[in-house]
Amino acid sequence: METLKISSRISHVQNKILPLNIKPYPLIHNSRILGFYSNKGRTFSYTVTCKLNTVKGKKPSKGKTVLGSDGAAPPVVEVEERSVGRKVEEPPKSSGVGFGIFKKLPRKVLGVLSNLPLAIAEMFAVAALMALGTFIDQGEAPDYYFQKFPEDHPPLGFFTWRWVLTLGFDHMFSSPVFLGTLAFLGASLMACTYTTQIPLVKVARRWSFLQSAETIRKLEYVDTLPRASVKDLGVILMGDGYEVFLKGPTLFAFKGLAGRFAPIGVHLSLLLVMSGGTLSAAGSFRGAVTVPQGLNFIVGDVLAPSGFLSTPSDAFSTEVHVNRFSMDYYDSGEVLQFHTDLSLFDLDGKEVMRKTISVNDPLRYGGITIYQTDWSISALQVLKDDEGPFNLAMAPLQLNGGDKKLFGTFLPVGDDNSLNVKGVSMLARDLQSVILYDKEGKFAGVRRPNSKLPIEINGTKIVIEDAIGSSGLDLKTDPGVPVVYAGFGSLMLTTCISYLSHTQLWALQDGTSVVIGGKTNRAKGEFPDTINRLLDHVPELVESSSPKEPDTHSGV
Amino acid sequence: MIFSTLEHILTHISFSIVSIVITIHLITFLVDEIVKLYDSSEKGIIVTFFCITGLLVTRWISSGHFPLSDLYESLIFLSWSFSLIHIIPYFKKNVLILSKITGPSAIFTQGFATSGILTEIHQSGILVPVLQSEWLIMHVSTMILGYAALLCGSLLSVALLVITFRKNRKLFYKSNGFLNESFFLGENVLENTSFFSAKNYYRSQLIQQLDYWSYRVISLGFTFLTIGILSGAVWANEAWGSYWNWDPKETWAFITWIVFAIYLHTRTHRNLRGANSAIVASIGFLIIWICYFGVNLLGIGLHSYGSFPSTFN
């Protein structure tokens, strides 16, 4: 028996079979040699001299693990003819907190729900319903549907208004059909995560060593290095970021385990988003109000509940004052931004908050958020013949399409009690300028509100003092938002991570050559090239005691 | 003034280069493979990439906002994404298939954008208040990048389907013919079919390559699409107070997301593998166009500033 120096390379191996009563499970892990290995009836065995620790019949203890995330090493599985990564049928015994309820359901229901073609069909159904919801105008009065889908000549030959209204397609996205399909999809998602994904994690994390060259050759990618040692391969792989485990002549390495976990993360994030959305739909308050500058309102008056879980909070008794509403313009005259200066007062009349909000910059207080969404002109303040000021309320006028707004008001001149009251008409697109028309409707002039320049129309002197705008505010309180945001964040993260590939490699020292096989789940096309480049670095062994320089192998 | 002339120059340079590249590809495809020409076509796409980047930067500087506020600018960004997707594998030096797809796509997008239909909105416009947010950059750029990657991937799947079904048809005819002959003449059918096996080998290699690259590109695009949809939802919550409004564009983006999720799932299942996933990806190609253009043609909803100008109606 020759003793060999293991610290650098194996240069000479000797056939020797050790007595069978020694059955330890040492691990040669990342170049720390902890013991020796015995293999019954295989091609070779060797003994090492440095750091002999005979571990008698004990499974590897916690100190020798690689996966630092959990304390215990997964049990080393002796596999003879096992195909790795096969899905385990039975669900794990130790399940998470939320899944305990599934133990009560019959297994058959779970099996049906986690069927993938069914899930795909559900996804198609949800997509089709959503598409239908965009084609059918939503939220109109029933008369609209009577006209659009008449019974005498229905579109598609059968799609009358009865279909639309009974199935709830006029409010598709809150109809029972759609919500039911979504709930079904959510149930499938939960079942699939429980039955398929979680066992997959356990399988993927198991260290499995393949014992025979034939098993390795059945893998997707196979190669043979004619004169090499499996330890050198292990060193090269470690340098490339793999986790390497050596057990005698066999080697197992993996990289990118996060790519296996990430799909579970995606499904869990989706469930989180769905539950947050349900919470929002059932428990939030919404409201919108248009408040002229200088007026105020109480928060609770404008908010309406959205579902059965909505409960008002103390902040609902806050009073909101619109101190000032202003608009900024581009040089070309278009609207650049509009701002509202808000003060919040509590029941005692104390000012608790003051902020100027604008679009994309809301105010948050006590769970309530106030958004600036719209604007309008509430009144023009005019002086007529130096009397006044009169507040003339402005009304929005209908334009043919487009986003532009137009407001108008009317100042009667002359005899107020006659039937055909004549007066001065004033139009304004925004708070910048007012266009005035005389009694006959002819254009009279343009005035800017702050210039205080008078204008003479039909003998009346008019001064536009001010244009008072009103602020369009949307108020909302939504308990589901933190949940949904958490779901969004984790969904983005896990989707990115699941792009990574999980690669597994097995190798076996077969005489003087090493048989390598591997598989990967994502980057299949580049896999052979990547592994070839790695294998090129494995040094080639020659018969003399000092090996030559690393040489490119002649792969088979 | 100088910015607009610079823009015009860059637009026309990129347009001409891409047309030259398309012509070169057609020549190699139809006539003969001339290696030097091929190298120059690769360089041509790189030059196009830099031209379009310059175009976008110029628009950014001259208008003061990130160049993604209306349909024209999003089309320019789309063709930029195509040239970007083309360049990345070029540095890895192993994918030649993608160039056949990204090149024509970039030219068609660029051509449509600069064509006569949209000449009125070439001038960089102003941003309405609701678009003045940092979220604009993240949301729209990831959406357009996602669209570009998903379009490339689904075009690769369409190519796969075309090749698969042409091969099956041809094999079907040929095998029928030979069966009859061998029956009458007693020839060795295997000898004749071995002639096909060489061609079939290259075909199945090509199909496998197409399948693999389609999968990789679509998963990349799916990641971008997810980030785009979610950042749009967060932006909507910051701007209007609700993260999902069942707006037509949002709904169709969600439908696109679902269809490509179906694609990714059909690849994992044993029974559904193969051409089925390619069919799903081809459906996805149509759905992306509905989502990107079709909804804008309606001109309604929260995304109406992406629609054609009202003078067009």
Same domain as B111, residue B163: no
Clarify whether residues B280 and B143 are in a common domain: yes
Residues A352, A479, single domain; the answer is yes
CA distance B284 to A533: 36
Residue B14 inside a domain? The answer is yes
Q: How far apart are CA B104 and CA B41, in angstroms?
A: 12
Residue A82 pLDDT > 80: no
Give the count of domains, chain B: 2
Q: What is the pLDDT of residues B274-283, one digit of tens each?
A: 778 888 888 8
- Strands A221-225 and A513-520 come out as antiparallel
Q: Is residue A177 part of a domain?
A: yes
Residue of A174, A492, A494, A530 to mutate for B, most B C-beta atoms under 10 A: A492
Q: Are residues B147 and B31 in the same domain?
A: no
Same domain flag for A456 and A395: yes
- Paired tokens of B18: 């891409």
Mean pLDDT of chain B: 73
Q: Which helix (H) or strand (E) holds B36?
A: helix B35-63
Q: What is the mean pLDDT of residues B62-83?
A: 78
CB A471 within 8 A of CB A321: no
| Whether A301 and A357 share a structural domain | yes
Ordered alpha helix ranges (H), A35-149:
107-113, 116-135, 142-148
Amino acid B168: pLDDT: 65
Residue B132 touches partner A, C-beta closer than 8 Å: yes
Helices and strands in chain A, H and E counts: 12, 25
Give the per-residue pLDDT at B196: 55
Rounded Cα distance, A174 and A154, in Å: 25
pLDDT in tens, B204-229: 777 777 788 888 889 899 999 999 99
The structural domain count of chain A equals 4
Does the pTM surpass 0.90? The reply is: no
Does B154 lie in the same domain as B64?
no
Which of chain B's residues have a Cβ under 8 Å away from the Cβ of A131? 251-252, 255
Residue B71: pLDDT over 70 = yes
Whether residues A329 and A362 fall in one domain:
yes
A499 touches chain B (CB under 8 A): yes
Q: Which of B121, B140, B165 is the endpoint of a domain?
A: B121
Range of the domain at B149: 132-177+195-307
Decide if the complex's ipTM is over 0.85: no
Per-residue model confidence (pLDDT) at position B233? 92
* Out of B128, B251, B269, closest to residue A133 by CB: B251
Can you state the percent helix, strand and coil of chain B, rounding each to 5? 85, 0, 15
- Do A302 and A333 lie in one domain? The reply is yes
Provide the shortest C-alpha distance from residue B126 to chain A (in Å). 8
CA distances from B111 to B87, B115, B116, B118 (A): 20, 6, 10, 11
B312 lies in some domain: no
Residue A409 forms part of a structural domain: yes
A477 and A330 belong to one structural domain: yes
Residues B240, A373: C-beta atoms closer than 8 Å: yes
Closest CA to A471 of A356, A382, A339: A339
What is the pLDDT, as a whole number, of residue A87? 38
Say if A54 falls within a structural domain. Answer: no
Instruction: Find out whether A62 and A73 touch, Cβ atoms under 8 Å.
Output: yes
Helix axis angle, B248-266 relative to B189-240, nearest 10°?
140
Residue B283, CA atoms < 13 Å, CB-side half-sphere: 17
In a domain, A38, yes or no: no
**In which domain, by residue range, is A532 found?**
215-256+501-542
Asked whether residue A72 is domain-assigned, the answer is: no
Written as six digits, the tokens of A449 are 């509100």
For A422, residues 6+ apart whose C-beta sits below 8 A from its C-beta are: A412, A413, A414, A439
Q: Is residue A41 part of a domain?
A: no
Taking a contact as any Cβ pair under 8 Å apart, which residues of chain B between 11 and 40 contact chain A?
A: none
d(CA A406, CA B128): 17
Task: Give chain A positions within 8 Å (CB) of B130.
Answer: 359-360
Residues of A in contact with B220 (CB under 8 A): 499
Residue A400 forms part of a structural domain: yes
Does A116 lie in the same domain as A185? yes
- Residues A216, A219, A224: CA angle, nearest 5 degrees: 55
CB contact under 8 A, A525 and B212: yes
Look at residue A248 in the predicted model and tell me its pLDDT.
81
ω before A389 within 30° of 0 (cis)? yes
- pLDDT (0 to 100) of residue B291: 86
Inspect the interface and report whether the beta carbons of A371 and B241 lie closer than 8 Å.
yes
CB-based contact, B240 to chain A, within 8 Å: yes
Instruction: Tell whether A226 is covered by a domain.
Output: yes
Evaluate whether residue B152 is within a structural domain: yes
Q: At what angle do helices B275-289 and B189-240 cross, to 10 degrees?
A: 40
Tell whether B3 and B83 lie within a shared domain. yes
Nearest Cα of chain A lies from the Cα of B240 at a distance, in angstroms, of 6
The predicted pLDDT at position B87 comes to 74
Average pLDDT over residues B10-31: 72
B96 within domain boundaries? yes
